[in-house]
Structure 1
């Protein structure tokens, strides 16, 4: 099975989204071909759980990061070649008869099918003729047998005859029949291998190019037994000028309990961490200076849990169900990464305090998992202080007069910031209400609002 990241987690972290300009997928979707895009989607939605496989894929991306490839094909050409190879596939003699019939029909003025086939054949030959030089340019790429597989195909006698046909020379009808049979019948499966290889190069070179442009780096995957996640200068890959933060989690320090004011950076930090974990397991480059991690079995987040009117779930009950789903996997001994942003914010403060305390303590009893848990109920940190594997961090707020300033820098400890009412006053909310047309001063009993 692959690394698990359910739909809620993917939406929380804005991972998928072929047609969303601000998704993590769209960051890498700069490929040149539809085949490259199909391959990107396949690799992106299926993160891995094997350290060797992750590092192997990551090393390929790294190679093309540091050895940029000028991809020599355009999307239309490859699409036409793919359509040509996959249309009207038949046996050798049937294919020849069909081609001869189309030629006769065209000569009699009764059909126009032969000329497009001839053009697509020439186009396909031109694509194949670029492969030998392309192989030379990437001869040191860590493609683990793929290069040799392609070389072997290009050395086949029939393919050699095709490659040695003089460029620009008009194809005779007999040569067209011969080459058409070679590509669409005799070596049909080999053509699929070559197209797949071309699409792989499109993907690898594109991801490497994006990594170079966005200053991304490559994580090192470790066996599950290593039990650690270490990220230096992790940032959100879609935020220009984002402030980077570091964190180190181990089995004896596997719960990061986070506090801080609204807008101080908690949610962005947790999303940045979750995105890095997901991309690292997919072998893709991450927005961090350095990252080492033991492979995990999945990633859960609870950041933007919606209510469910159709099922009759309130926001709080939706949160409870979400926590239950996560607890089920954790209790089964699975190695999970879990992100909770403001646990139980859908209920009253007393219940939220009790629930946050109980759930955090319970999850902390599974040192094989890693957690980031945020809350605005800072009083709960006192009750959790005795749990040895919980570390407390916060994002500070600096008041400059009556205006808050946020550093977005993670610090050890627990926040003492209480600036909510100051922000409400800065926005003039109470004045707007009191200066309304039908406001009655005599009904206002609480003079603290003045």
Structure 2
């Protein structure tokens, strides 16, 4: 079982993508190592599914955030160490000794770089193991969410072979026998320890980087609850990619599982929906959020329909693409899984009458799935009036405040259904009619 999210939702929320402008992944991708980047990518692609695991990871990030640690390792040395310990080991130390001797001879006669790389690889390993030992010794291991990991690394680094390794002077000439012994040991009998050490360093990289972003941005952490609670409650929710964004409060549960959102264009409806989706996804990862406070029940997936486009390849018009998307959402909801589903401007690709009828019918139908949470936005405010009798639908809107003939957007949610109709005023303000005259 895994957290359900499709490519369209990932793209609409701009969650993943190292090189995508403004992606949530890029916001947190401050790691230093390639291994840390791979681990961060894995976290983004595999949200956690149990409240206990989510809360534990959040507590680890909070531990590092409070500790305010710097990454103590040299990235180039880590890369050299990884290449060194990952290379194929020879079956016996005598054979390794012979091959090391041959490499040293060839290094003196030709431009063979293998002996030099072996020495540099061992030197990088010695320095990295020593730095890891010093770093772990400074960490508090008697309590806290990272105590087990710290104790495990202390035990690993207490191995007598690694103690002797740390004592080697990397600036002194390396005896051939010692070089061959560690070349063999680090790639065979100590290979598991070396892999665990590297994995620990990559975890440190991610923990330090993510917690630093949280500290800089003043992000907070959500509290995860079991799925049966069916709760999503947040205070001060904002978009993590917008500095100084205005926060909003929301609460959804079984008895109030549908939000009907109205507001003028540019009032902030789409950004609010994206903020909700991003916060829920990051919360399932145990990551810090652009919120003041958040409590949520673990959900089985997330589904959005915010930027539906036509599909020329399949011959879909914009309207038909919307219909297909709603059908996919209905099929997902019908599975009985606890999902969050968001729809921005249902059926805007057709005429107003059909859009009204379709939005009304779909919203009513979705509202019956009480285990799912739904957010539906629309310009057709008359739909809201027709839904007033539904006791599990809450009506909120993004207001527009007029300053003379200029609209101003507060981005602050209010209860009710908007009465704002500034479309023609904006058209006039832009002087479009005068240009056509």
Q: Could you tell me the TM-score, scaled by structure 2's length?
A: 0.97
- Quote the RMSD (CA, aligned, Å): 1.3
How many angstroms apart in 1 are the aligned matches of 2:43 and 2:160? Answer: 34
Q: Gapped runs of 5+ residues in structure 2?
A: none
How many angstroms apart in 1 are the aligned matches of 2:326 and 2:167? Answer: 64
1:264 touches 1:407 (CA, 8 Å); kept in 2?
Answer: yes
1:299 touches 1:337 (CA, 8 Å); kept in 2?
Answer: yes
| Partner of residue 118, structure 2 | 117
How many angstroms apart in 1 are the aligned matches of 2:188 and 2:90? Answer: 7
2:214 matches 1:202: no
Q: CA deviation at 1:356?
A: 0.4
1:159 touches 1:182 (CA, 8 Å); kept in 2?
Answer: no
For residue 279 of structure 1, the aligned residue among 264, 278, 282 is 282
Q: CA deviation at 1:12?
A: 0.6
2:30 matches 1:30: yes
Q: CA deviation at 1:249?
A: 0.6
| Partner of residue 136, structure 2 | 135
Equivalences for residues 98-247 of structure 1 within 5 A: 98-109=99-110, 111-140=112-141, 142-143=145-146, 145-166=148-169, 168-247=171-250
Aligned to 1:343, the other structure's residue is in SS state coil
Q: Could you tell me the TM-score, scaled by structure 1's length?
A: 0.94
Equivalences for residues 324-335 of structure 1 within 5 A: 324-335=327-338
How many angstroms apart in 2 are the aligned matches of 1:291 and 1:136? Answer: 35
Cα pair distance change 1:268/1:255, threshold 3 Å: same
1:33 touches 1:74 (CA, 8 Å); kept in 2?
Answer: no
How many angstroms apart in 2 are the aligned matches of 1:95 and 1:31? Answer: 36
2:100 touches 2:176 (CA, 8 Å); kept in 1?
Answer: no
Aligned to 1:185, the other structure's residue is in SS state coil
Per-residue CA deviations over 1:186-216 (Å, capped at 9, x if unaligned) read: 2112111100000000000110000000111
| Partner of residue 444, structure 1 | none
Per-residue CA deviations over 1:155-185 (Å, capped at 9, x if unaligned) read: 2222222123346433211111112222122
How many angstroms apart in 2 are the aligned matches of 1:110 and 1:49? Answer: 54
Aligned to 2:82, the other structure's residue is in SS state helix
1:158 touches 1:182 (CA, 8 Å); kept in 2?
Answer: no
| Partner of residue 441, structure 1 | none
How many angstroms apart in 2 are the aligned matches of 1:179 and 1:281? Answer: 43
How many angstroms apart in 2 are the aligned matches of 1:295 and 1:96? Answer: 56
Aligned to 2:304, the other structure's residue is in SS state strand
How many angstroms apart in 1 are the aligned matches of 2:111 and 2:34? Answer: 34
Q: Gapped runs of 5+ residues in structure 1?
A: 435-450
